[in-house]
Amino acid sequence: MTTLGFLYPGHAAEDDYPTAQKMLGGGHTLRVEHTYGEDLHAIEELLDLGNPSRLAEGAGRLAAYSPAAVIWACTSGSFVYGWEGATEQAAKLAEAAGVPASSTSFAFVRATQAIGARKVAVAASYPKPVADRFVDFLAAAGIEVVRMSSHGIQTAAEVGTLPVDAVLELAAGNDHPDADAVLVPDTAMRTVALVDTIEKRIGKPVLTANQVTIWEALRLSGEPLVHSGLGTLFRAAASAGQGR
């Protein structure tokens, strides 16, 4: 049994992880430890939320479970640092955890590359100033955003209350004809069990925050990446690569 560790900010959609554990079909324990800061989708608050010292404390708690990899399961709390800052954040987390580490922002980049997507639409729950930083982060990896929708939701707690129909509409309703895939970047949104449904509706790959976070943990730990029910990404392992 391989344990994968996730540092999850606050409480919103962390039940995506036990849901995914069941969907993976056994052999993996997805261990979630919570970190805490002010729940606000605003630049300064997100910088504080992703502070490396805060993440190191969480990594210390995860150490008791001997995870094979640790992921900072927060998109906005990583991309808000920019490419270089997020790289340093992940490196410090790896040092604190003593195992390979990453963040949801890098998971999005690697997952987008794994499915061969170059142009994407972003269906963001965040206010525009925060969502714009995600666009910049993707651009630093050579990923073009052909449409970015910002829904202005101020807190993760509010995102976590979105009903299924609202999540489906946010994801499927913000596609673009030129996009190779649609990205839904908020780990506060319950999406793991909905990826296949959204893909069938729009006819193209969909990458969601908790989905790519779990994929990234599997990738870093060297575990198999092919699983059913979790979208195109989990059928695209051959092109995923093993780089860190």
Could you identify the residue written with the tokens 């909905």? 194
**Residue ranges of domains in the chain, CATH in brackets:** 2-106+210-239 (3.40.50.12500), 116-208 (3.40.50.1860)
Blockwise average pLDDT, block size 10, the chain, 244 residues: 94 94 90 87 90 95 96 96 97 97 98 96 91 96 93 74 86 92 93 94 96 97 88 72 39
Q: What DSSP string describes 64-124? A: GG--S-EEE--SHHHHTTHHHHHHHHHHHHHHHHTS-EEEHHHHHHHHHHHTT--EEEEEE
CA atoms within 13 A on the CB side of 143: 29
Q: Which strand (E) or helix (H) includes residue 138? A: helix 128-140
Query: What per-residue confidence (pLDDT) applies to 133?
Result: 96
Distance, CA of 222 to CA of 233 (rounded, Å): 16
Range list of β-strands (E), the chain: 2-9, 28-35, 70-72, 101-103, 119-124, 144-150, 181-184, 206-208
pTM: 0.93
